[in-house]
């Protein structure tokens, strides 16, 4: 166990040795193993956006096994996916890579107003598939946010009892927020705080902009001159919002597929701000495997301190 991983584990003083063991597995796996940094491959877009939109750009990606293989070859810390996808490869790749079961999912097919999710799998499923963690998406700001918080309560408690870690994807969204507000620094910071308060071990948020959304918060940001001008400052602030850096927070760039220079620029910002890493889905699997391995390699080099 490296000193850095030991230090990170020390922040989770209320967890059982079982949960710490699974957290350590995540932190010690892959190319970034032991550095305290993480790059995770998440593939729930087939469920959330539909299969063709997700996989037609790189047809081998229709096959769940492809993603297991990609995550392993790239040296990711973990692979996260919904039930069906993990069921497909969990035996073939048993023990090859830490798995995170996404236990709730949305789908863009229906025309509801405020976003919500369905519980689609269970802690028992995670255990029988050999996972190290369960993942849960919440939409702070949605009219349904309290239902989702309460579902986390049930699932997270059960997961912790079973020695699993808990990952929360915290995406502000809902009729009370503007589109721009969904990635506003104050809102993303709030979303990180909520995930931390709900007991997440790992928190996933979008890289925030310097927009300020909530009037009461805006006043404080301006009054106190909280530095949010650069990506690094914003990342640093988000870490503050998640228990002053004592929770693992990782970032994604969101829906848009940008050029790699821009992506790596963002990674450098996350790294400079002290962020714990990235979760990179579409940018990984919506290109050929060699290209994906190259890009993920460059990202990991930055986090590993081998590149600037």
Using CA atoms, how far apart are residues 100 and 164, in angstroms rounded to an integer? 10
Q: Does 221 bind a copy of itself (CB under 8 A)?
A: yes
Whichever of 190 and 251 has its CB closer to a copy of itself, that residue is 190
Q: Output the smallest distance, CB 35 to a copy of itself, in A.
A: 23
| Closest-CA residue to 79 (of 46, 55, 51, 43) | 43
Using CA atoms, how far apart are residues 194 and 119, in angstroms rounded to an integer? 19
Q: Does 257 bind a copy of itself (CB under 8 A)?
A: no
Q: Output the smallest distance, CB 30 to a copy of itself, in A.
A: 23
Assess whether 289 carries a catalytic annotation. no
Whichever of 130 and 297 has its CB closer to a copy of itself, that residue is 130
Query: Which residues, 201 to 220, sit near a copy of itself by CB under 8 A?
Result: 214, 216-217, 220
Q: Which residues contact 152 (CB under 8 A, 6 or more apart)?
A: 136, 138, 166, 168, 198, 199
Catalytic residue among 204, 206, 218, 236: 204
Whichever of 13 and 308 has its CB closer to a copy of itself, that residue is 13
Query: Which residues, 272 to 291, sit near a copy of itself by CB under 8 A?
Result: none
Whichever of 166 and 299 has its CB closer to a copy of itself, that residue is 166
Whichever of 73 and 147 has its CB closer to a copy of itself, that residue is 147
Q: Output the smallest distance, CB 265 to a copy of itself, in A.
A: 26
Pairing label, strands 78-81, 277-279: unpaired
Query: Which residues, 169 to 208, sit near a copy of itself by CB under 8 A?
Result: 172, 174-177, 186-187, 189-190, 192-194, 196-200
Q: Output the smallest distance, CB 27 to a copy of itself, in A.
A: 18
Using CA atoms, how far apart are residues 60 and 289, in angstroms rounded to an integer? 9
184 has which bridge partners? 209
x-marked contacts with a copy of itself along 27-66 as a string, rule CB under 8 A: -------------------xx-xxxxx-xxx-xx-xxxxx
x-marked contacts with a copy of itself along 86-125 as a string, rule CB under 8 A: xxxxxxx------------xxxxxxxx-x-xxxxxxx-xx
Q: Output the smallest distance, CB 204 to a copy of itself, in A.
A: 15
Cβ–Cβ < 8 Å for 168, 202: yes
Stretch that binds a copy of itself, among 32-40, 76-84, 273-281, 290-298 (CB under 8 A): 76-84
Q: Output the smallest distance, CB 87 to a copy of itself, in A.
A: 4
* Cα 164 to the center of its chain, rounded Å: 16
Q: Does 157 bind a copy of itself (CB under 8 A)?
A: yes
Q: Does 127 bind a copy of itself (CB under 8 A)?
A: no
Residue 302 phi/psi, 5-degree rounding, is -60, -50
Q: Does 129 bind a copy of itself (CB under 8 A)?
A: yes
Whichever of 5 and 302 has its CB closer to a copy of itself, that residue is 5
168 has which bridge partners? 136, 203
Catalytic residue numbers read 204
């Amino acid at each position: 166990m490296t000193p850095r991983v030991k230090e990170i584990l020390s922040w989770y003083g209320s967890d059982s040795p079982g949960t710490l063991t699974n957290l350590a597995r995540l932190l010690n796996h892959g190319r970034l193993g032991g550095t305290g940094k993480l790059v995770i491959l998440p593939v729930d877009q087939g469920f959330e956006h539909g299969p063709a939109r997700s996989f037609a750009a790189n047809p081998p990606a229709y096959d769940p096994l492809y993603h297991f293989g990609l995550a392993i070859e790239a040296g990711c810390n973990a692979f996260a996916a919904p039930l069906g996808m993990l069921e497909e490869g969990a035996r073939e790749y048993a023990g090859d890579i830490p798995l995170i079961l996404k236990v709730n999912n949305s789908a863009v097919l229906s025309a509801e107003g405020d976003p919500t999710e369905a519980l689609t799998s269970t802690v028992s499923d995670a255990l029988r598939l050999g996972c190290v963690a369960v993942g849960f998406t919440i939409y702070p700001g949605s009219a349904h946010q309290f239902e989702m918080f309460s579902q986390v309560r049930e699932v997270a408690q059960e997961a912790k009892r079973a020695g699993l870690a808990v990952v929360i994807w915290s995406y502000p969204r809902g009729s009370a927020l503007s589109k721009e507000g969904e990635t506003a620094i104050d809102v993303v910071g709030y979303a990180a705080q909520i995930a931390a308060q709900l007991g997440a071990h790992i928190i996933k948020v979008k890289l925030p902009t310097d927009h300020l959304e909530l009037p009461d918060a805006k006043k404080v940001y301006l009054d106190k001159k909280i530095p949010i001008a650069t990506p690094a400052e914003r990342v640093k602030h988000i870490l503050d919002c998640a228990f002053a850096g004592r929770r693992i927070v990782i970032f994604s760039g969101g829906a848009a597929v940008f050029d790699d220079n821009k992506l790596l620029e963002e990674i450098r910002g996350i790294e400079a701000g002290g962020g714990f890493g990235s979760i990179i889905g579409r940018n990984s699997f919506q290109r050929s495997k060699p290209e994906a391995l190259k890009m993920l390699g460059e990202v990991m080099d930055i986090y590993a301190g081998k590149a600037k």
